[in-house]
């Protein structure tokens, strides 16, 4: 397959255990950007083996560091792109071949105008592909034509911001992300998400915190209802223990925003 004239951005931090799988899935992209947070475990060597360009997440940092603003780091990747198209995955994810072929066709056609493409995930839980989950369909804008008006926003759970006249399409292919158990979800929340969320709202008016708390409560209810429905597909559904972990995540977001505290709640 000839190289796809598009850039792909991947955030890493001590990602040696999963990075090769991610890079293997996007090896046909012309421009691979690895934005690293000071890895010390062989991540950089793997990136170099795949011909990726490595850039720092924070040029001012002198050692390993955690991301405090995901949108800012994604935008750093975007600014480093050397082509006219941008796709991104995380270091523990994988682009399915069908998705890569779709992207290749779009890039080759190079349609005019401002364009973004939404892609749905498929979760791989302990080696098993999950067909029913509360997070489905879970459309995310992972691929778009680079434009000065398109950028990432939100420090956590970052999203693409784009102009109103943008042409929005949905691709058939999927990207995969991998879960080993509910504890993996909770670890990310405790160490990373709640502190970032708290800092984001720290200097905001109280009503904005309350609005955020209401959104988390609504998300919790939606997860419960979808998970209950999915119990009718037991062999193809996300395990109930994982869905419960997702509900606990939203409850912790709710408590943190409602009371304005980083305190951990069970």
Q: Which residue has the tokens 């302990």?
A: 126
4-179 fold = Spore Coat Polysaccharide Biosynthesis Protein SpsA; Chain A (3.90.550)
Half-sphere exposure of 214 toward its Cβ, with a 13 Å CA cutoff? 6
Residues contacting residue 141 through CB under 8 Å, at least 6 positions apart: 116, 117, 118, 119, 159, 160, 162
E strand spans, the chain? 4-12, 29-36, 53-56, 85-88, 93-95, 115-125, 128-129, 140-145, 151-153, 159-161, 167-179
- The helix (H) or strand (E) run that includes residue 104 is helix 97-109
What is the SS3 assignment for 53?
strand
Q: How many angstroms from the chain centroid is the CA of residue 184?
A: 15
Domain residue ranges of the chain, discontinuous segments joined by +: 4-179, 182-259
pTM as predicted: 0.87
pLDDT at position 191, please?
A: 61
pLDDT at position 66, please?
A: 74
Residues contacting residue 109 through CB under 8 Å, at least 6 positions apart: none
pLDDT per residue as tens digits for the range 55-105: 999 888 767 777 888 899 999 999 999 999 999 999 999 999 999 999 999
Q: Is the dihedral of CA 75, 77, 83, 87 positive or negative?
A: negative
Most confident of 140-149, 229-238, 253-262: 140-149
Q: Which residue has the tokens 């009718």?
A: 232
């Amino acid at each position: 397959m000839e190289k796809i004239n598009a850039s792909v951005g991947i955030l890493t931090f001590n990602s040696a255990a999963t990075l090769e799988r991610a890079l293997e899935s996007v090896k046909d992209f012309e421009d691979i950007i690895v934005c690293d947070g000071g890895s010390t475990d062989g991540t950089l060597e793997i990136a170099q083996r795949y011909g990726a360009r490595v850039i720092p997440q924070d040029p001012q940092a002198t050692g390993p560091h955690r991301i405090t603003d995901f949108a800012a780091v994604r935008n750093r990747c975007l600014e480093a792109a050397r082509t006219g198209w941008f796709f991104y995955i995380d270091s523990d994810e994988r682009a399915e071949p069908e998705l890569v072929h779709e992207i290749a066709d779009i890039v080759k056609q190079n349609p005019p105008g401002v364009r973004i493409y939404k892609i749905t995930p498929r979760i791989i839980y302990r080696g098993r592909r999950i067909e029913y989950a509360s997070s489905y369909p879970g459309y995310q804008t992972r691929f778009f034509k680079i434009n000065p008006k398109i950028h990432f926003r939100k420090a956590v759970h970052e999203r693409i911001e784009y102009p109103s006249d943008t042409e929005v399409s949905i691709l058939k292919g999927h990207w995969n992300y991998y879960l080993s158990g509910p504890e993996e979800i909770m670890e990310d929340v405790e160490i990373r998400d709640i502190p970032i969320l708290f800092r984001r709202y720290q200097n905001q008016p109280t009503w904005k915190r309350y609005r955020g708390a209401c959104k988390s409560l609504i998300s919790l209810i939606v997860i419960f209802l979808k998970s209950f429905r999915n119990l009718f597909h037991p062999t193809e559904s996300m395990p109930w223990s994982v869905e419960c972990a997702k509900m606990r995540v939203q409850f912790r977001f709710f408590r943190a925003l409602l009371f304005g505290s980083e305190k951990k709640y069970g």
